Amino acid sequence: MSLAQRLGVRHSIVQAPMANVQAAALAVAVSEAGALGSIAGATLSADQLRATIREVRAATGAAFGVNLFAPPYLREDVFAVVLEERPAVFSFTFGPVDPAPLREAGIVVLGTATTVEEARALDADVVVAQGAEAGGHRGTFIGSFEDGLVPLAELVPQIVAAVDVPVIAAGGLMDGRDIARMLELGAQGVQLGTAFLFTPECGAPQAWLDALRTHETVVTPAYTGRHARAARTPFLEELMAGPPPLPYPEQRAAVAARPGAEGLYLGGTEARRGRDMPAADLVRTLVAETEAASS
């Protein structure tokens, strides 16, 4: 069985969940186009997650996924919603999650790893290899964050050789040539987040997109208390020069309360290559580009 068949989609492309920015419409558009749309549920309440799942399900009969954070950030009432609503796919990051109840519910389980050691520590149906180039919070849960900053081109073949499950490559992938390179390295699929930020369905503020196109990115805990890759804006520079951050997520709340605080503009290293186009068009373009690059 191919990875696409296992996920219930036509194309082995996963839209990365992006908490606090993406609208439910993005998951719908991506899934309707034949890839796997994702709901970022980590910051939603149980009621909000249930409503979002049902909104997506009412709009498409295609498979989609739900993403949550691993313990100690996993809230039992929110996790219970996933088990009750039974999306096709569940993905997690920041550590391991017991897959037994998910598998009993017929849900395919994706776990995030930033190193070979983490990949081996996961019990998941598919491993998402998060390279150093990836935008957003780092999924590292063993060792220091520096240990998890492995370039994707190195990480993918390492994890492919270390585990017996399919591997999805994630981090800095923006077009079909990028995807084709990951498939050549042994990945069976890819996950893209930053590329989908630039679609109208995502709903990212223009200031977010402008920041990613203007500034280089940096990995820092200065904004949220957990290492994340974001645009290196003057405000983030100010935070990085300040006192050590509070633990996650207290730091984010403290920073958000500051007068004039900017948003955290998460994004990958290749954000400047982002293309403004509808999500369905982006999926079709990625598929066509991958086929051309692989021929």
Q: Where are the alpha helices (DSSP H) in the chain?
A: 3-7, 24-32, 46-59, 76-85, 100-104, 116-121, 152-162, 176-184, 194-197, 206-214, 234-241, 250-256, 279-294
- pLDDT band of residue 168 (cuts 50, 70, 90) is very high
pLDDT band (50, 70, 90) for residue 257: confident
**Sheet of 136-137: strands edge to edge?**
136-137, 228-231, 217-220
Q: CATH 3.20.20.70 spans which residues of the chain?
A: 3-202+274-294
44 near 52, Cβ under 8 Å?
yes
> What phi-psi label fits residue 143: left (phi over 0), alpha (psi between -120 and 50 degrees) or beta?
left
pTM of the model: 0.97
User: Which of 37-41, 256-260, 281-285 bottoms out in mean pLDDT, i.e. has the lowest?
Assistant: 256-260
Assigned token pair, 183: 């498939």
What confidence score (pLDDT) does residue 262 get? 67
Contacts of 144 (CB under 8 A, 6+ apart): none
The CATH superfamily holding the domain 3-202+274-294 is Aldolase class I (3.20.20.70)
Average pLDDT over residues 50-61: 98
Q: What angle do CA 53, 19, 103 make, to 5 degrees?
A: 50
Statement: residue 26 has pLDDT above 70:
yes
Write down the pLDDT at residue 260.
61
* Coil/strand/helix, residue 169: strand
136-137 and 228-231: which strand pairing? antiparallel
